[in-house]
Amino acid sequence: TIAKNSVEDVLRINSLFPRNLAKLCNAKDIKCFHITTDCVYTGKKGNYSEADFFDADDLYGLSKNAGENKDCMTLRTSIIGEENGNSRSLLEWAKSQAGKEVNGFTNHLWNGVTTLYLAEVIETILVNNLYEKGLFHIHSPNTVNKYELLQIFNRVYRLDLRINPVEAKDAVDRSLSSIYDLTKLVSVKTLEQQITEMQEFFELLNTSVKVEEQIAVGF
């Protein structure tokens, strides 16, 4: 069971905070983006559009759905990115397994975006005056399974992984689609393109940080 205070924290962060923030921004005429999740769906159907009613039955999915509101631009998506200080994501886990043999699920489907590309999407919306209140799905144009996603990580990050294709006990397909032209306008880069650009971005960033640290020590 989940402790009462934990449930309250989840609802406060995932449900109440986004709504209160959106109302505040709306009152001040400030553009507000709310990033939400594909976990409002169980993953039993796949290819979910904005017209599909949420069907999550767990606390996380229900609380995230409750946080979606009409006072801001809600971007429903799923993201992958490099992390600082932990390895909870699939990407960081894959990097931590470099040179090893791992399994990749062939029946877990996904078409989310990288954190870097999501930032580009938001920039595109702002620069081109495409901001609009409502719910929009942000996704990649191609859907992959977790086995294929691990293969992309392996190529881009040169991890030397030996990846076995396996089926999970329960199939999951939370792939997204959209009924809006906006999503079709910004969802143009393939997952491999996004992941390659993200790897190059963080490699350059980390190099710059190291140079700055060396300069600081020198002085």
pLDDT in tens, 1-41: 455 669 999 999 999 999 999 999 999 999 999 999 999 99
Instruction: Classify domain 4-218 at the CATH topology level.
Output: Rossmann fold (3.40.50)
Q: Locate all alpha helices (DSSP H) within the chain, ordered by sequence.
A: 4-11, 17-27, 59-67, 90-96, 115-127, 146-157, 181-186, 191-218
- Closest alpha carbon to 177 in 137, 143, 144: 137
Could you say which DSSP state residue 54 is in?
A: P
For residues 178 and 181, what is the distance between their CA atoms, to the nearest angstrom? 8
- What is the dihedral sign for C-alpha 61, 63, 66, 71? negative
pLDDT for the residue numbered 182: 85
Question: Which stretches of the chain drop beneath a pLDDT of 70?
Answer: 1-5, 85-87, 187, 209-219
- pTM as predicted: 0.89
pLDDT for the residue numbered 211: 56
pLDDT for the residue numbered 11: 96
Domain boundaries defined on the chain: 4-218
pLDDT for the residue numbered 10: 95
